[in-house]
């Protein structure tokens, strides 16, 4: 693919939305074509699935079938938004992607795990992130930030769960980073948002060849 695909992962309130916005501004200032998007969602079909899953209407489904819904939303998003953007040479910044399914729909049952792995393979169909930024914050901090952000709005189906579940999810994200160090970078999400943005940009510049895209853009423009 001509473009670059970067995903942001981490628990709720870890700062994904904030940092995606800042990275998008920094990359656009380099003259790059930047697409920001999120999961579940990013297309009308995926947004409809988002509503079904996050409202809690399908809370009885269990991890495998919940994984199927997230996978269907992801397949639509890939087809309609992500693949075309990568094909034209854009940088795609996506708030959550397949690692969120690995973490949130994780199962201790080996057969369920094998099913979800196969589902992931079929959904991605050869397209995956070039880089994944995992924003790491203690679960209590993420939950408190999310609570402040929400104010009057209702918690979604996953935010309602106990802090111990959020602690487990943090561990699962860190385990993914350990198992795929060439793809994943863990960045401390505590502290000042501007400093975190500098760490994120440094990781992107270190791991990816942005110059190639800038030169392609210049060639297209001339």
Ligand X SMILES: Nc1ncnc2c1ncn2[C@@H]1O[C@H](COP(=O)(O)OP(=O)(O)O)[C@@H](O)[C@H]1O
Ligand Y SMILES: Cc1cn([C@H]2C[C@H](O)[C@@H](COP(=O)(O)OP(=O)(O)O)O2)c(=O)[nH]c1=O
CB nearer to ligand Y: give 77 or 83: 77
The site partner of 61 among ligand Y, ligand X, none (C-beta below 5 to 8 Å per kind) is none
Identify which range of 28-36, 83-91, 145-153, 199-207 contacts ligand X by CB under 6 A. Answer: 145-153
Identify which range of 101-109, 122-130, 141-149, 165-173 contacts ligand X by CB under 6 A. Answer: 141-149
Characterize the bridge pairing of strands 34-38 and 4-9: unpaired
8 A C-beta contact, residue 7 and residue 99? yes
The site partner of 145 among ligand Y, ligand X, none (C-beta below 5 to 8 Å per kind) is ligand X
On whether 15 is known to bind a ligand per the annotation, the reply is yes
Among 3, 16, 76, 131, binds ligand Y (CB under 6 A): 16
Among 3, 15, 40, 129, binds ligand Y (CB under 6 A): 40
What angle separates helix 163-179 from helix 139-150, to the nearest 10 degrees? 120
8 A C-beta contact, residue 81 and residue 35? yes
Tell me whether residue 221 is exposed, middle or buried, using C-beta atoms within 10 angstroms of its C-beta: 0 to 12, 13 to 18, 19 or more.
Answer: exposed
Among 3, 5, 7, 12, binds ligand Y (CB under 6 A): 12
**185: part of which helix (H) or strand (E)?**
strand 184-188
Question: How far is residue 55's CA from residue 45's CA, in Å, rounded to a whole number?
Answer: 16
How many residues are present in the chain?
222
Among 158, 177, 189, 213, binds ligand Y (CB under 6 A): 158
Applying CB under 6 A, the residues found at the interface with ligand X are 10, 12-18, 145-146, 148-149, 193, 196
* Binding site feature residues: 10-17
């Amino acid at each position: 693919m001509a473009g670059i695909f970067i995903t942001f992962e981490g628990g709720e309130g870890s700062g994904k939305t904030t940092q995606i916005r800042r990275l998008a501004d920094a990359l656009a200032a380099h003259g790059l074509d930047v697409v920001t998007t999120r999961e579940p969602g990013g297309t009308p079909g995926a947004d409809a699935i988002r509503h079904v899953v996050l409202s809690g209407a399908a809370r009885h489904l269990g991890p495998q079938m919940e994984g199927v819904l997230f996978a269907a939303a992801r397949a639509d998003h890939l087809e309609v938004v992500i693949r075309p953007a990568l094909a034209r040479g854009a940088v795609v910044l996506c708030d959550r992607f397949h690692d969120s399914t690995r973490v949130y729909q994780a199962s201790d049952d080996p057969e369920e795990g094998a099913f979800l792995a196969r589902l992931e393979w079929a959904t991605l169909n050869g397209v995956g992130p070039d880089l994944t930024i995992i924003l790491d914050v203690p679960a209590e901090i993420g939950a408190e930030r999310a609570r402040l952000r929400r104010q009057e709005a209702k918690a979604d189906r996953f935010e309602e769960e106990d802090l111990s579940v959020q602690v487990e999810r943090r561990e699962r994200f860190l385990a993914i980073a350990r198992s795929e160090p060439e793809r994943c970078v863990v960045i401390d999400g505590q502290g000042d948002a501007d400093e975190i943005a500098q760490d994120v940009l440094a990781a992107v510049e270190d791991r990816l060849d942005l110059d190639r895209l800038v030169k392609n853009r210049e060639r297209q423009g001339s």
